[in-house]
Structure 1
Amino acid sequence: MIFARWIAGTLLVAGLGLTGAGTAAAHVGVSAPDAEPGGFAVVTVRVPTESATAGTVKLEITLPQDHPLAVVRNEAVAGWDVTQKRATLGTPVDNGHGGKVTDYVSSVTFTAKDGVSIRPGEFGEFKLQVGPLPHVSELAFPAIQTYSDGSVVSWIEQSSDGTTPDKPAPVLKLSGGHDDAHEHPAAAPDTRAAHRDSRLAVAALVVALGALALSAAPKLRRLRVKR
């Protein structure tokens, strides 16, 4: 009986570990399958509501300051007001059509109108058309998420050692890009994935051993009785 309780506790811990891993992955993210250096792309910003009691009513997205984008257009979203904030550039950038741009969109804010929100258990998507994209491997789009109860979550943390922060800034991967500041820019995501797979494999092994032990427990008791 004691052994069976120990196995049950082990299985519970393993289950909690797997649940925690899933929860950590639920954060604001960006994607654009056609994003290539020098080109234009439609960036989709995915916003999950993690609160169980409040809805998402505002999202402020900061555009890359070190690689300003000459063109930023937001998609019109029913029920949401959109505002763009601009900043002056120290050095003009090419707009992709032979012209120069002296200021750029530094942030885009989506604000829900009265009665509208991304409710608990839901996610929303906002789209930005941006370009020309710089010749780098990735771009960070820090975001600040505001809930209807006034709480704020800042998705602005960036990793420098390959680990995943608690509140990571959304990062857009560019195909064929190259970042001179990083010798191997793609190594960190692969390493993190390997670590996650290792943890899942260990948890699965624990579950399997626990099930085997539970199935063998009645036979062990019968053997002890016969002796």
Structure 2
Amino acid sequence: MTTRRTLARLGATAAGTSVLALGLVAPASAHVTVTPSDTAAGAYTVLTFSVGHGCEGSPTTSIAIQIPEGINAATPTRNDYYDVEKTVEKLDPPVTDAHGNELTERVSTVTYTARTPLPDGYRDTFDVQVQLPEDAEGADLAFPTIQTCEKGETPWTEIPAEGQSEDDLESPAPAFVVTAAGADAHGGGDEAADETAEETSAETSSDTEASGEPAAEASGDDSGNGLAIAGLVAGVAGILVGGFALLRGRSTTA
């Protein structure tokens, strides 16, 4: 009995220590994060930014997301609880996009301002669509974000130096690694499917002409009709011969 009580007390102590440890690390790990729908270079992707807490207990009033250079357009999704605004900056010199259009300005920041402050202990998400740079394969793409609260603010803007990881930083910027371009990044998959369908159709047509199956079917029908006619003619001839033989026999008997 004593042993059981001792183990129970040790278990309760260990559990309490674990809960305390989790409580200590939870705020540190609850950064502003970004989750892309696609990470391939050149792909159009929807970036979901997640905010999990306020500024040391103070409700969140705005989230300002900085768009890195190399991304010229950003399309934010509307949120019922926030007003959204895009800040535009001039491009000097202008750049040419993937469609050959000359761009003289780009979206540099997307800001969500709360109509009703987001209480600490509640989370929210913000979606922004962008096209990832075509030459960014392998790059760690960061989106420095400023979280402003009723009291104070938290700049999620730290970028790891060489040899560092996000875990080494107190307020890391939301970021992810850009992967290799996909085959269908610009609709190549649909074009490839159309080409495959055309090739399949051409091969089918070629095989039909080479095999001569339609001609064989026509030949078979003609042969069947000829045999039927020949059989009919032979039957009529037999009847005529039989009738002639019968009449001759009767004449001889008489």
Q: TM-score range by the shorter chain?
A: 0.5 to 0.7
Q: Is residue 2:82 matched to residue 1:75?
A: no
Q: How does 1:133-148 map to 2 (within 5 A)?
A: 133-136=133-136, 137=138, 138-148=140-150
Q: What residue in structure 2 maps to residue 29 of structure 1? A: 33
TM-score by length of 2: 0.58
Return the alpha-carbon distance in structure 2 between the equivalents of residues 111 and 84 of structure 1: 11
Return the alpha-carbon distance in structure 2 between the equivalents of residues 20 and 31 of structure 1: 25
AA of the residue aligned to 1:168: P
By how many angstroms is 1:6 displaced? 11
8 A contact 1:158–1:168 mirrored in 2: yes
By how many angstroms is 1:14 displaced? 6.0
Return the alpha-carbon distance in structure 1 between the equivalents of residues 12 and 51 of structure 2: 36
Q: What residue in structure 2 maps to residue 108 of structure 1? A: 110
8 A contact 2:91–2:106 mirrored in 1: yes
Give 3-state SS (helix, strand or coil) of 1:27's partner: coil
8 A contact 1:36–1:133 mirrored in 2: no
Q: Is residue 2:46 matched to residue 1:56?
A: no
User: Cα 1:39–1:92, aligned 2, differ >3 Å: closer, same or farther?
Assistant: farther
Q: Deviations over 1:25-44 (max 9, x none)?
A: 10101111312111211111
Aligned residues: 170
Return the alpha-carbon distance in structure 1 between the equivalents of residues 113 and 127 of structure 2: 14
By how many angstroms is 1:83 displaced? 1.2
TM-score by length of 1: 0.65
By how many angstroms is 1:152 displaced? 0.5
Give 3-state SS (helix, strand or coil) of 1:111's partner: strand
8 A contact 1:70–1:93 mirrored in 2: no
Q: What residue in structure 2 maps to residue 190 of structure 1? A: none
Give 3-state SS (helix, strand or coil) of 2:25's partner: helix
Q: Deviations over 1:117-149 (max 9, x none)?
A: 22222111111111143422321100110112x
The answer for unaligned runs of 5 or more in structure 2 is 1-6, 182-254
Q: What residue in structure 2 maps to residue 20 of structure 1? A: 24
By how many angstroms is 1:52 displaced? 6.7
CA RMSD, Structure 1 to Structure 2 (Å)? 2.7
Q: What residue in structure 2 maps to residue 192 of structure 1? A: none
Q: What residue in structure 2 maps to residue 213 of structure 1? A: none
Return the alpha-carbon distance in structure 2 between the equivalents of residues 52 and 103 of structure 1: 37
More helix by share: 2
Return the alpha-carbon distance in structure 2 between the equivalents of residues 85 and 96 of structure 1: 22
Give 3-state SS (helix, strand or coil) of 1:117's partner: strand
The answer for unaligned runs of 5 or more in structure 1 is 178-227
